[in-house]
Structure formats: structure tokens, C-alpha cells
Amino acid sequence: MHSQIPQNACPLTPPDDPEIQAWVRLAHGYHQIARRLEQALDEHSLSLAQFEVLARVHFDSGMTQSELASRLLVSKGNICGLLDRMTAADLVQRQTDSEDRRVNRLSLTKGGKDLLAITLPVHLSIIKEMMSVLSPPELGALHTSLEKLSPEAAC
């Protein structure tokens, strides 16, 4: 036998499947961009999660807390806490639905809209900058692949 590599020293080898490699890159790319976005938002005492609520509620005004939770892939208790902090900061409003009094309809306050107007352009420019290493066709292919990965995500 001429096994040159001591196998039993390390039973687990780094996975080289393309799916796993893609996941590792996906996670790394996500964190890299997310950290950068968080840094920029920090100036306004806004977390990335809160920014996402801000943008989502703005672009989908009148949505319910449950809808928001499923859109952001978090629990309803989590959304409730997020909204507590954001209403305290006068960024978001809850309004009881007149037809179903269990439901809260969400919308931004003036302060929330103003803050979004300030932060969104910076946010977008950071994303564009970090994505600019990709050519338009690559960007298109990336989008198509990720679309398959989570079809229900809308912008």
C-alpha cells in the first residue's frame, strides 16, 4: 500500500462539493456586505434589521406584523420587539385594522420616512459599490440563481 496521506489522523475532510462551496461563499459574501451596511447605519443608531423593517414597511405600507415576520423570516415575537423599539423611536406606527381588530396595519411616521430618505441612498450606493466587481451578465446570473433559491423573496 502506498497511501501517502495519513487518513486516520483526521477523519473529516473539508467538503469540496460545489453546493457546500457555494454556501460558504454565500455566507461570507452576505456577512461582508452586511457588516459594511451596519457600519453606515450605525451613525443613525439604526440596525440592519430595523432598516429592513423601515424599507419593507415603506414599500408595502399597510402590511401586517405577521406578513412582515414571514417576509423577514423571523418570529412574530421578534417583530413585536423590533416594532416596540421603532415606535419608541417614532419611526413606525401601528394602526388597528377596522375590519379585523386583531390585526395591526403598519406604516412609517414622518420621522421614519425622513430617516429612510437619508439612509436609503447611502445604503444603495454601498451595495452597488460592493457588487460592482461583477459584470452585468454575472449579476444577472447571480440574481437568477438566487431567485431560484428563494422564489418568494420580493424586492
Partner DNA sequence: TATTGTTATACTCTATAACTATA
Partner DNA sequence: TATAGTTATAGAGTATAACAATA
Residues that bind a second copy (CB under 8 A): 2-3, 5, 7, 10-12, 14-35, 58-63, 72-73, 105, 113, 116-117, 120, 124, 127-128, 130-134, 136, 138-150, 153, 155
Grid coordinates given for 6:
495519513
CB of 65 to a second copy, least distance (A): 13
What's phi and psi for 122, nearest 5 deg?
-60, -45
Q: Which does 60 bind (CB under 5 to 8 A by kind): DNA, a second copy, none?
A: a second copy
Q: Which does 22 bind (CB under 5 to 8 A by kind): a second copy, DNA, none?
A: a second copy
Beta bridge partners of 106: 94
* Distance between CA atoms of residues 65 and 53, nearest Å: 10
Q: Which does 59 bind (CB under 5 to 8 A by kind): a second copy, DNA, none?
A: a second copy
Grid coordinates given for 66:
405577521
Q: Which is nearer to a second copy, 88 or 154 (CB)?
A: 154
Contact 93, 106 (CB under 8 A): yes
Give the footprint of DNA on this chain (CB under 7 A): 35, 39, 45, 47-50, 64-66, 72-78, 80-85, 94, 99-104
Grid coordinates given for 137:
451578465
Contact 118, 44 (CB under 8 A): yes
CB of 92 to a second copy, least distance (A): 15
Burial of 106 (0-12, 13-18, 19+ CB in 10 A): buried
Q: Which does 8 bind (CB under 5 to 8 A by kind): DNA, a second copy, none?
A: none
CB of 66 to DNA, least distance (A): 3
